[in-house]
Structure 1
């Protein structure tokens, strides 16, 4: 059973999500909040596997809340609900460690798949959202890093590059380990070193970084 908390300032959106998610018997809604502060109070009482969270909310928005959650509860998967006109929020959420993004107008099958994908430890990026984030990376203060991406990848050993590319394919540590005949702990150490060498903050950011060099 995958325990989920819904966070959105619009009750009608939460009700719609609950209706969609009730279609899948592997997903259980254990709580809901209307903003980031309510969510953080809720997390003091119960911890979910996955949080489905609106990116824009009054008080404490999804971006700031993601940063706090990932600092205090890194094991919780955070999926951000977004729309096409929120590039800056998406970029900041990525930097703060969000595990994925899904468009608000996605169908029930896509949202259920998103939750299961994030729960399994894989990266979740809607292709259209990913394209927007890559564009944001190339048109912000990230630009200087973008100019040197090819050079930066040469900092990686051949094995690190293999691991990085499998991360970019959305593989989790167990799957990468099976592919390369490594233990999960070894893969985790590789990923940590890769992020340090490339000065990145999360697996999601690494995936976008690798995609943008090809």
Structure 2
């Protein structure tokens, strides 16, 4: 069972998300918070596996809360669900350790699947944000960090930036899920990142993948 905590000051949205999530047999809402203070107070008793975090909430914003949460409870996954498609919010959330970043106009079934994805230790980024990031950078010479990656690791990194899951990467490259995880782990170590979303941002910022 995946225990989820909702952090959003809009009651209608929280109720809607809760109703949708509660129809799933493997996901359960264990708590709701309307502001930063309430979130921090309820967190110990709720013990969530995944926090569905809005950015615009009273007291402390969702980005600040994400940083605090990840510092003290690194195993709890944070999935940001927001109306903000601004790049500064996205980059800030990833830097603070968010495991996923989705926009609120995403279909509800995709939000549910995203909860499962981050609960498994993977990361997910709204496709529109990835495309926007890719559009910011022109292809330049490879950095020294890319030269440290093996050819297979470069292929896996390209798949990560494309938004593929471990299973999809394995199918594309004809390798097992276990082998994919090994490659991803090595990529994290070489790039000095802690999550898939951070690896994607780092790869794009440093031109480690071919850009359109």
> Fold conserved (TM > 0.5)?
yes
Aligned partners of 2:31 and 2:191: how far apart in 1? 33
Question: What residue ranges of structure 2 are gaps of 5+ in the alignment?
Answer: none
- The number of aligned residues is 200
Residue equivalent to 1:141: none
Corresponding residue of 2:142:
150
Superposition pairs for residues 44-193 of structure 1, below 5 Å?
44-134=44-134, 138=137, 150-151=142-143, 152-158=145-151, 160-161=153-154, 164-165=157-158, 167-168=160-161, 169-171=163-165, 179=176, 190-193=186-189
Alpha carbons of structure 1 residues 148 and 74: separation in structure 2 relative to 1, 3 Å: farther
Residues in 2 aligned to 1:34 and 1:22: alpha-carbon distance in whole angstroms: 19
Counterpart position of 1:202: 195
Q: CA deviation at 1:67?
A: 0.8
Output one character per residue of 1:79-120: Cα deviation in whole Å (capped at 9) or x when no partner.
101224432111100111111111112222111111111112
Q: 1:38 to 1:77 in 2, by over 3 A?
A: same
Pairwise CA RMSD: 2.9
Q: For the structure 1 residues 60 and 165, does the alpha-carbon distance in structure 2 shift closer, same or farther, using more than 3 Å as the test?
A: same
For residues 19 and 9 of structure 2, what CA distance do their matches in structure 1 show? Answer: 17
CA offsets, 1:8-29, max 9 Å, x none? 0111211111122122121100
Q: What's the secondary structure of 2:78's corresponding residue?
A: strand
Are the equivalent residues in 1 in contact too, given 2:8–2:35 (CA < 8 A)? yes
Give distance in 2, aligned partners of 1:154 and 1:183.
Answer: 20
- Listed as ranges, the gaps of 5+ residues in structure 1 are 139-145
Normalising to structure 2: TM-score of the pair? 0.78
Q: Is the 8 A contact 1:66 1:93 kept in 2?
A: yes
CA contact (8 A) 1:80 1:100 kept: yes
**TM-score (structure 1 length as normaliser):** 0.78
